Structure 1
Amino acid sequence: MEKQTSFVLHGNIIYTPDKDNFISLKNGYMVVEDGKITAVAAEKPAAADRLPVKDCHGQLIMPGFADMHLHAPQYIQIGMGMDYKLLDWLDGYTFKEEPKFADPAYAREIYPLFVDELASCGTTSSTMFATIHQESTDILCDLLAQKGLRAYVGKVNMDTNSAPALTEDTASSLQATEEFISKWQNHPLVKPIITPRFVPSVTAEMMTGLGELAKKYQIPVQSHLSENPGEIQLVKELFPEDKYYMSVYERFGLFGQTPTLMAHCIHLSAEEIAIMAQTGVYAVHCPASNLNLSSGLMPMRKMLDAGVKVVLGSDIGAGHTLYMPHEIVRAIEVSKIRSIANPAETPLKLSEAFYLATKAGGEFFGQTGSFEQGWAADFLITDVPAYQQERTVDEQLQYFIYHGTAQDIREVYVNGLAVKK
């Protein structure tokens, strides 16, 4: 099956075409032709007479997960420094770890472990920060491409208020970024994304240059927004002329002028939430990270009700797992905690959280994350215990999301090709 991109799957199928509804089929069929989904049916389709049929009896077939914010170099520091808050955590751990990637040999040691675990956890699409180091970032991209995973990867930009080993010369950083963009912009799976680390670590000159690159090459942008009160105060001090934290990005062409992901978005006013909805900027909810660093509880329901595009991210290493079902559960739990004090904020339903981790994030890459006609065949096949076989397909998914593990994911496919088997 590794090279075969046309086949029929037969098993229990579930996906969310919208955030309010599951579509599920017990012993259904999904037709994959040339890496694309051409049909999902309850009865055996005619295509099963001309294509190989993969029997997934007693297994669950679902879309691959989309992790829309993570820091690949922080993989090695998962679980470290969780007694700290954001800025102290960065100084105490991250800004000591990331300089090691100046050595390409270190990248070749660590990044294969990260990429293998990402695939094993069923993440088929992801957007990630690398480091400031161009060669190590290329190594990460090469590994993702070899594995067959779909990803946006950012060579990080930092030219101020950073550890000396992570402070770049502005012109050199912009040149390296453009070279990186040119190398990867036409790859079918792994593509570049403009990545200023966050406002406090980039000068106005750097942001001007990055905004120009985003416009020139029409590529997306990712960064951080309103994660921590100390961070927000620092932005006010550095850019007092801007009304909001997000106003700094917007002024330099880094906030919705091309598709944009902003991680965290915890401490936003109603007006800022409205601006995010108007500009179409994505808010990436990273519930584990926000809890671990005591950053806050994202107002998910307010944002969804306002029309903001919301997706999920693991944010390793401030988050402590690459396994997206855990983030699905935490997103639901955080919404329930908020609803206790704010009854108008109804908690997330499982269909909503699952949608955020599949189709909502997948659409940033195009047509992936759902089982609709013409969409990419990015999917997982998971085991269902014998004692859960009589459950409905919806109940089997509930069991997997709340109690399953990465070991229950037997196979992972991207464009109909196996990346874990």
Structure 2
Amino acid sequence: MPANIQAFRSSLLHFTADPAASPDAHHWHQDGLLVVEGGKVKAAGDYAALHPTLPPDTPVTDYRGKLITPGFIDTHIHYPQTDMIASPAPGLLPWLDNFTFPTERRFEDPAHAAAVAEFFLDELLRNGTTTALVYCTVHPQSVDAFFDASSKRGLRMAAGKVLMDRHCPDFLQDCAETGGRDSEALIRRWHGKARQLYALTPRFAPTSTEAQLQVAGELARAYPDVYVQSHVSENQDECRWAMDLFPGARSYLDVYDRYGLLRPRAVYGHCIWLDDDDRARMAATGTAAAICPTSNLFLGSGLFDFAKADQAGMLLSLATDVGAGTSFSMLQTMNEAYKVARLQGSYLPALRMFYLATLGAARSLQLQGTIGNFATGVEADFIVLDPQATPLLARRTSHCNSLEEWLFALALLGDDRAVAASYAQGRLVHERVAEAAPD
């Protein structure tokens, strides 16, 4: 982590609130300066005002013509599914049986887990994602491999061992006792060590017995600062299955609530088929929804209802959900989220999409003040976006008339090529190499 003062000149954008709730939610500096000291933000503002305050001979990295934002935060993603992205299936449940479970079996081999973790983290950084909430497999060694790779890169990541003790192949099945024991050992080994954070991870209610969910709830109470992550109300067949397995529950979400698994630092993927009572309960408990548009479209699961979620006051963020999600890019995820909202009669401005991928996600993870914007003292995880990364993007952004229009073009036309560089605590961890021009 760099100890000296660093400075980065570029356009700057970050948020202090949700643009849907406040017209003054964002800070935009067309010619800006980001000042970093000891891996944390020292100042962010107009270049003309801040540059004279720098100590003599402070190096200034010049990214003029580009945009610096906080690093993207992906709140729902499966690193073991990297190798099976874009696998064909008629729906969620056959996709799990035919592709997911056989792929995850290979993570009993620590060398395989380590190789995939290395590639996965490189791919995140190439796409501008500097923090993610990550599913591993049932194998504790898959968690160790992931955190080893993340620690080497100095990244802030959260992850956990999947808990799954029924309705899955024997080769992936744990039990309530071993799953709980392994999870607690991993919490003690990794949670809060450097920048690593642990997440209790029941795959989804149908693959856990009541005994296993009880153990997960006990661990959540014993370790209130760890995360809880799972899936809920993704697919209508899955919802019916969950209610058949838990007939005493009011709803699919209520299954988790009965075991104390709704609380701050709990994040549930999808949340498509919730009812109004479910949404109100999520808001009341500080439980966050991770919206996964590319995954939901790919599997035909349904369309997230932004209007009803906002009306309930739910915590929201965007997520790729690789490997059902079809891209590691949060820009491509914004692209699909915009279309999902339109199909539901809502409109997502570009400013709000960038908020949901940065400070909104940090708030969902209860990490505001740690990552997610450029407030003084926040960890300096940031990315550099290039509006001229492709010929089409360059042509479109060259005649934008507002910040909103410019950001919208980046969201709808951008992908990994638009990420010129990624930084973790002020340290360069990815730099895009420009393609050579054809002869």
- State the TM-score bracket (shorter-chain normalisation): over 0.9
Asked whether the 8 Å contact 1:4–1:417 carries over to 2, the reply is: no
Match of 1:271 in 2: 277
Matched, 1:153 2:146: no
Asked whether the 8 Å contact 1:24–1:394 carries over to 2, the reply is: no
Matched, 1:14 2:13: yes
Of the structure 1 ranges 17-26 and 176-185, higher mean CA displacement relative to structure 2 is found in 17-26
1:410 is paired with a residue of what secondary structure?
strand
Cα deviation 1:214-272 (Å, max 9, x = unaligned): 1112212000111111111111111111111111111111111x520010000011111
The residue identity in structure 1 corresponding to 2:253 is: M
1:171 is paired with a residue of what secondary structure?
helix
CA distance in 2, matches of 1:383, 1:298: 30
The residue identity in structure 2 corresponding to 1:102 is: E
Match of 1:68 in 2: 75
CA distance in 2, matches of 1:180, 1:123: 24
Quick one: structure 1 residues 5 and 147, their matched pair in 2 at CA, closer, same or farther if it must change by over 3 Å? Answer: farther
- Length, aligned pairs only: 412
Asked whether the 8 Å contact 1:155–1:177 carries over to 2, the reply is: yes
Match of 2:54 in 1: 48
Match of 2:211 in 1: 205
Match of 1:411 in 2: 421
- Residue 27 of structure 1: how far off its partner (Å): 1.3
- Residue 379 of structure 1: how far off its partner (Å): 0.7
Asked whether the 8 Å contact 1:19–1:351 carries over to 2, the reply is: no
The residue identity in structure 1 corresponding to 2:383 is: L
2:347 is paired with a residue of what secondary structure?
coil
Asked whether the 8 Å contact 2:349–2:408 carries over to 1, the reply is: no
Match of 1:95 in 2: 101
Q: 2:40 aligns with which of 36, 39, 48?
A: 36
Quick one: structure 1 residues 195 and 48, their matched pair in 2 at CA, closer, same or farther if it must change by over 3 Å? Answer: same
Match of 2:64 in 1: 57
- Residue 292 of structure 1: how far off its partner (Å): 0.6
Cα deviation 1:35-93 (Å, max 9, x = unaligned): 22222222242432343222222221111101000011001000002x42111111111
Asked whether the 8 Å contact 2:114–2:149 carries over to 1, the reply is: no
Alignment of 1:148-297 (within 5 A): 148-218=154-224, 219-256=226-263, 258-297=264-303
1:7 is paired with a residue of what secondary structure?
strand
Cα deviation 1:293-347 (Å, max 9, x = unaligned): 01000111210121000111100110011110111111111000111xxxxxx31
The residue identity in structure 1 corresponding to 2:14 is: Y
CA distance in 1, matches of 2:327, 2:155: 18
Q: Please tell me the root mean square deviation across aligned C-alpha atoms, in Å.
A: 1.7
CA distance in 2, matches of 1:100, 1:366: 36
1:242 is paired with a residue of what secondary structure?
coil
Match of 2:436 in 1: none
The residue identity in structure 2 corresponding to 1:193 is: A
The residue identity in structure 2 corresponding to 1:68 is: T
- Residue 108 of structure 1: how far off its partner (Å): 2.4
- Residue 172 of structure 1: how far off its partner (Å): 1.5
- Residue 99 of structure 1: how far off its partner (Å): 0.8
TM-score, normalised to structure 1, is 0.93
Alignment of 1:339-350 (within 5 A): 339=345, 346-350=346-350
CA distance in 1, matches of 2:142, 2:27: 42
The residue identity in structure 2 corresponding to 1:304 is: D
CA distance in 1, matches of 2:64, 2:164: 51
Match of 2:145 in 1: 139
For structure 1, the 5+ residue unaligned runs are: 340-345
- Residue 5 of structure 1: how far off its partner (Å): 5.6
Matched, 1:375 2:381: no
2:429 is paired with a residue of what secondary structure?
strand
Match of 1:354 in 2: 354
CA distance in 2, matches of 1:193, 1:177: 9
CA distance in 2, matches of 1:393, 1:272: 36
- Residue 131 of structure 1: how far off its partner (Å): 0.1
TM-score, normalised to structure 2, is 0.90
- Residue 22 of structure 1: how far off its partner (Å): 3.6
Cα deviation 1:105-140 (Å, max 9, x = unaligned): 221232211111011111011101000001122011
- Residue 399 of structure 1: how far off its partner (Å): 2.9
CA distance in 2, matches of 1:313, 1:270: 22
Matched, 1:420 2:430: yes
CA distance in 1, matches of 2:429, 2:154: 6
Of the structure 1 ranges 392-401 and 65-74, higher mean CA displacement relative to structure 2 is found in 392-401
Asked whether the 8 Å contact 1:12–1:393 carries over to 2, the reply is: no
1:175 is paired with a residue of what secondary structure?
helix
- Residue 148 of structure 1: how far off its partner (Å): 2.1
Percent identity over the alignment is: 33
Match of 1:326 in 2: 332
